[in-house]
Amino acid sequence: MTIDLNSTTFGKREERLGSVVGYVGTIKDLASQSRCGSLKDRGRCFSQSSSCDAGCVLGYISHIRDIAIINHAPSGCTAGASSVLTNQTQLASKRGLPYNTVILGTDMNESDTIFGATGTLHDTILETYRRYKPEAIFVTTSCVSGIIGEDVDSVIAETGEELPIPVVPIHCEGFKSKVWATGFDAADHAILSRIVVPPRKKGNFVNFKNFNESARDDIVEMFRALGVDVFMIYSNTTLEELSHVSEALATIAICGTLASYLGNGLEQRYGVPYIKTINPLGVTGFETWFRDIGRVIGKEAEVEAYIERERALYLPKLEEVKKRLRGLRVVLGMGSSFAFQVARVIQELDMEVAYIASWHYDSRYDDGNPPPHVQYLAEHAPRDFDVSVADQQNFEILNILNRYKPDLYLARHPGTTVWAVKQGVPAIFMADEYMSFGYKRTLSFAYTILDRITNRSFEKNLSSRIRLPYTDWWYRQESASLYEEAR
Amino acid sequence: MNKFVDRPRFSCALGGALFTLRALTRAIPIIHASAGCGYNLYTAGNAGAGYLGGGYCGGTGWSSSNVVEREVVFGGSDRLSEQIRSTLELIDGDLFVVVTGCMVEMIGDDIGSVLDEFANEDVPVIAVSTPSFKGNSCDGYDMLLGGLFSDYVRRDAEKRTDTVNLLGLVPGQDAFYKGNLTEIRRLLERLGLRVNTFFGEGETLENLKNASEASLNIVLSDVYGVGAAGVFEKTHGTPYISLPLPVGAVQTSQFLREAADALNLPRDAVERVIKDEEARYYDYLERIADIYNDVDLQRYAVVVGDLNYAPAVSRFVADELGWLPRLAVVTDDLDEGEIRRVEKRFTGWESDVSPLVRFDTDTSSVRRYLQEAWRPGNNERYYDSLSPLFLIGSVFERDLAASLGVPLLTVSFPVTNRIVLNQSYAGYKGGLGLTSDLLSTLIAGR
Ligand code: SF4
């Protein structure tokens, strides 16, 4: 699907990528349905709080340094802003960089919901510029601004003329998309359409889209071995730097769910190749991905040399630790890409994937092709296994854990592993997207798993003394029994 | 411009209601809102409250109707009805409370008629309207309690002269609510009273259901809980008094005397309890006399906090530690009447000192008030400096503390840099706890 950069809005994932939030089946079925485009979404008659586009945008765009974000919303939508900023400030200080991004809310009140708040928004934009002199102001929308039909675009166009910096709308009303990862696209759309400028010249760098750049030093090193620089986005970038992503040799990413919009958008608009292979988690993932990068930027020999060096260093140790992990059964609950990529690593480490619960699932990416990691897993899994798309629904996860009784639960997104632990299942919250990236981190991931299952006292004691909220009736049902028929 | 909140110290009404329900054993919220609201509010509230956690069914466990575009266009009543029905089947609870987000309030769902479908269930299902555009988390506490008082608390109870309810500490907004309530309850029980705090250690929904037996509601705040106490008085005929949150011996003894007077308890019995509590208290406090004097632990103080904590903590450091509070910033958004009530709490202290008091929601203003409270020098050649200074506030004061090079203790929301379990700052126990926390910060390098 072509990405349209002339509009302030863009298609949500359900429409663009055939994304679903309810599915139950097996890995082979999911792969084949993705290929034929036959996947249908299923709703639920019970649901629990999860995340929204707006929250996703605030958390992601705030990685950029020295901008202002104005959340045009009632106060509650902005409540998480201070913890987001704390996180980003710490990421910047790790690199010794100043970080002055602010998040403000217009705190819409009752009269705003009746009479509109474009006046407040206008004043807030001007006052924000006066106080903070940011490099740009991004205005994010909310359920409430969406429902009252606030003409945010016109206010922004108006104030944009009065101010010497870009003032950019990001449309991310929480109720619009069932897939909160649409927020990543909302942020990318704003950057692509309003910040990125046409290339002045070709640069000698690749764009690397990620979250928290914890593996930055190793990655810089890795690409230095190829003779190119790496530009990691959006964490700790400035707007000026971001505006030149169009000059890159290629765009690569830690996660296809995160990067589909920006990667494909840059490819379509500026011809910057976007690497679409499985991603660099585990050994196979890393090598497939790195070789493809080498091919695209013409550095095959350097890539092979690097791989050879690293293999010699780490593969023997990996073989050793695999012996101690063999046969452990693992349930995974993660986003549309990580769930299947980490599952591949689990199999590589000789553990068994008992079940995958993907939060949502994109049945294709913006290039029109089904996600390669699911195809890969379906082809290489030793046996077909059960998969669901569980929309971060805690009741489903606990039901699944109760049924499959794994040795370990792996999840991304805070607030999910805690429930496994309360139910007595050891769990690892894989907050760091580089956990299991490349050889070295795959090895340390293996050690982390060993550590985790070595002392199970915390979850054992806790789970035997507290009560969980679900009825016995629920634990007797199938995890997907509250799905509605496919529409 | 009228509002410009750069770092919110409160979440919204829905957030306040959710954390209040989080604190109420076996009460199950059903959120009627979009998918993100519950989780976003949990994330902010959990960290801000010293990591209170999701508890029995909070965070990703909260039942939520997750309305999408279809409901916004066609109404969300059917979805809500379906969600309540499935929640009753899935979640084991003793009381189910529908709370609403802004968007469903705006689409105008008729929640009353949805609830009629559930009138004959074995467990009560009630609804409280909590749109976030109608107030902050403290208002949400009042809305929620108001709803529970009128729709859940028994109407036919006989009044008991020995029973009181405690209101005014907002769970989560007050990170120490549970320790505080437990301590105040302990003290009132020593006076021979039966006390419902609803959220204290070991309390159940029975305490709430039978709260109408109380002959007095004691609101430990000048604002929070006052609305709910008004609803209580109207529905159950129980009057209320507002007393400030007592921190330390001086304030707690005064609190006990005032509470006892309001209940016509015999004075000598009360004095006996006070005497005993103070003896225990000063036995501990005496310990610090040596170090206090050996290394001079007297400090100037700046206190930034909500209307419960700002006066109580300022007064505590003045009246009991002999410190000199120079500035107190109350961070609530208040009307004139409320401001006057809170201002009164900064007067009549035993120590006879009084800080400059400012009311402001804007974190960045604190620095400006500090200059107002203490104009360094005024071009004089010799002058006092505002040093050594101690800052007591929230994590939002961290930058200010760092730039002034002074220590900071976080007591007021958000308290993201501490793990809060059963600590209390209220009562005698709380005064000792606060002393220990403040002075430990000062000697941490030893
Ligand atoms: S109101 Fe909408 S935008 Fe705001 S937190 Fe809730 S779901 Fe997100």
Task: State if residue A71 touches ligand 1 by the CB under 6 angstroms criterion.
Answer: no
* A288-293, Cβ contacts within 8 angstroms, sequence gap of 24 or more: A289/A252, A290/A222, A293/A206, A293/A226, A293/A250, A293/A252
* Percentage with pLDDT > 90 across chain A: 90
If we measure between CA atoms, which residue out of A485, A483, A479 comes closest to residue A396?
Answer: A479
Least confident range of A143-147, B150-154, B245-249: A143-147
Distance from C-alpha of A378 to C-alpha of B144, rounded to nearest angstrom: 50
Which residues from chain A sit within 8 angstroms of residue B6, using beta carbons? 102, 104
Cα-trace Rg, chain B: 23
Q: Which residue has the higher pLDDT, A6 or B2?
A: A6
Give the tokens for residue B46: 């959990």
Cβ-defined contact of B35 to A51 (cutoff 8 Å): yes
Average pLDDT, stretch A399-411? 97
The 10s digit of each residue's pLDDT in B212-225 is 999 999 999 999 99
Structure tokens at A322: 């695999």
Ligand 1, atom nearest to A55 Cα: 8
Residue with tokens 């958008």: A265
- Please give the average per-residue pLDDT across B426-431, as a whole number: 98
Phi then psi dihedrals of residue B376, to 5 deg? -65, 115
**pLDDT per position as a tens digit, A196-212:** 999 999 999 999 999 99
State if residue A174 touches ligand 1 by the CB under 6 angstroms criterion.
yes
The verdict on the CB of residue A77 being under 6 Å from ligand 1 is yes
Mutate which of B11, B14, B31, B40 for ligand 1 pocket (most atoms within 8 A of beta carbon): B40
Find, among A247, A230, A245, A231, the residue nearest to A195 by Cα.
A245
How high is the pLDDT of residue A487? Answer: 60
Q: Give the domains, in start order, of chain B with CATH numbers.
A: 13-151 (3.40.50.1980), 297-415 (3.40.50.1980)
Degrees, nearest 5: CA angle A387-A59-A96: 120
Strand partners, B389: B300
Highest-scoring range by mean pLDDT, A82-91, A142-151, B228-237: B228-237
Give the gap in angstroms from C-alpha A293 to the nearest C-alpha of chain B.
Answer: 37
**B303-318 mean pLDDT:** 98
% of chain A exceeding 70 in pLDDT: 99
Residue of B nearest to A108 (CA): B133
What structural domains and CATH numbers belong to chain A? 52-177 (3.40.50.1980), 205-301 (3.40.50.1980), 316-486 (3.40.50.1980)
State what percent of residues in chain B have pLDDT above 90.
86
Closest Cα in chain A to B51:
A415
Please, which pLDDT band fits residue B3 given cuts at 50, 70 and 90? low
B36 Cα nearest atom in ligand 1: 7
- Token match 């190829």: residue? A226
What is the least distance, in Å, from the CA of A403 to any CA of chain B? 16
Q: Is the distance from the beta carbon of residue B44 to the nearest atom of ligand 1 less than 6 Å? A: no
pLDDT band at B227, cuts 50/70/90? Answer: very high
pLDDT (0 to 100) of residue B384: 64
Relative to the CA of B41, which ligand 1 atom is closest? Answer: 5
Q: Is the pLDDT of residue A326 over 50?
A: yes
Cα(A139) to ligand 1 centroid in Å equals: 15
Evaluate: CB of A69 within 6 angstroms of ligand 1: no
Compute the distance from residue A292 Cα to the ligand 1 centre, in Å. 40
* pLDDT recorded at residue A4: 87
The reply to whether omega before A234 is within 30° of 0 (cis) is: yes
Output the pLDDT for position B4. 64
C-alpha distances in angstroms, A417 versus A334, A431, B125?
A: 11, 11, 30
3-class DSSP state of B295: coil
Whether the pLDDT of residue B7 is over 90: the answer is no
Beta pairing, strands A250-253 & B389-393: unpaired
Among A247-256, B280-289, B361-370, the range scoring the smallest mean pLDDT is: B361-370
Buried b / exposed e across B380-410, counting CB within 10 Å, b at 16+? eeeeeebeebbbbbbbbbbebbeebebbbbb
- Strands in A189-314 per DSSP E: 205-209, 229-233, 250-253
Q: Find chain B residues with C-beta within 8 A of A108's C-beta.
A: 102, 133
pLDDT at B2 over 50: no
Q: Strand pairing partners for A318?
A: none
Among A44, A100, A137, A175, pick the best mutation site for testing chain B contact (most B Cβ within 10 A): A175
Partner residue opposite A147 with nearest CB, options B64, B87, B106: B106
> Rounded to an integer, what distance in angstroms lies between the CA atom of residue B149 and that of residue A419?
32
Answer yes or no: do B64 and A144 touch at CB < 8 A. no
Of B39, B72, B85, the CB nearest to A50: B39
How far apart CA B89 and CA B109 sit, in angstroms, is 23
Structure tokens at A331: 């349930």
Distance B10 CA to ligand 1 centre (A): 16
Higher pLDDT: A268 or A413? It is A268
B243: which 2 tokens?
């007393």
Interchain CB contact of A110 with B (< 8 Å): yes
pLDDT at A153: 95
Tell me what pLDDT residue B385 has: 76
CB contacts of A107 in chain B (<8 Å) are 3, 5, 8
3-class DSSP state of B171: strand
Any atom of ligand 1 within 6 Å of the Cβ of B40: yes
- Closest residue of chain A to B416, computed from CA coordinates: A83
Q: What is the pLDDT of residues A44-55, one digit of tens each?
A: 999 999 999 999
Torsions phi, psi of B119, nearest 5? -65, -25
Q: Which of A77-91, B188-202, B397-411 has the lowest mean pLDDT?
A: A77-91
User: Which positions 54-73 of A are in contact with B (Cβ < 8 Å)?
Assistant: 54-55
Q: How far is CA A231 from the centre of its chain?
A: 18
CA of B206 to nearest chain A CA: how many angstroms apart? 19
Helix (H) or strand (E) holding B357: strand B356-359
pLDDT digits (tens, 9 = 90+) for A426-477: 999 999 999 999 999 999 999 999 999 999 999 999 999 999 999 999 999 9
Distance CA A169, CA A317 (A): 50
Q: Using CB atoms, pick whichever of A55, A75, A175 lies closest to residue B11.
A: A75
Contact across the interface for B36 and A415, Cβ inside 8 Å: no
Q: Of B28, B37, B92, which has the smallest distance from its Cβ to A49's Cβ?
A: B37
Q: Which residues of A touch B102 (CB under 8 A)?
A: 74, 76, 108, 113, 143-144
Alpha helices in B286-364 (DSSP H): 288-294, 309-319, 336-344
The yes-or-no verdict on residue B41 having pLDDT over 90 is: yes
To test the contact with chain B by mutation, choose from A62, A69, A75 the residue with the greatest count of B C-beta atoms within 10 A, namely A75
pLDDT band at A83 (very low <50, low <70, confident <90, very high): confident
Any atom of ligand 1 within 6 Å of the Cβ of A167: no
* Mean per-residue pLDDT, A291-309: 97
Answer whether B149's CB lies under 8 Å from B400's CB.
Answer: no
β-pairing, A205-209 with A229-233?
Answer: parallel
Kindly state if the Cβ of B34 falls inside 6 Å of ligand 1: yes
Query: Residue A79: what pLDDT?
Result: 87
pLDDT at B378: 52
Chain B positions touching A104 (Cβ under 8 A) are 4-6
* pLDDT of B1: 44
Give the pLDDT confidence score for residue B5 in this predicted structure. 66
List A168's β-bridge partners, or say none: A138
- The pLDDT of residue B377 is 54
Chain A environment of B66 (Cβ under 8 Å): 47, 49-50
b/e burial code for range A220-245 (CB count within 10 A of at least 16 → b): eebbeebebebbbbbbbbebeebbbb
pLDDT digits (tens, 9 = 90+) for B256-274: 999 999 999 999 999 999 9
d(CA A90, CA A97): 10
B6 secondary structure, DSSP code: S
Provide the 3-class DSSP secondary structure of residue A156: helix
Residues 168-227 of chain A with CB under 8 A from chain B are 174-176, 178, 180
Is A22 touching B (CB cutoff 8 A)?
no
What part of A 406-445 touches B (C-beta under 8 Å)?
414-416, 418-419
> pLDDT tens digits for B90-130?
999 999 999 999 989 888 889 999 999 999 999 999 999 99
Q: Residue B74: pLDDT above 50?
A: yes
Whether ligand 1 lies within 6 angstroms of the CB of B36 is answered as yes
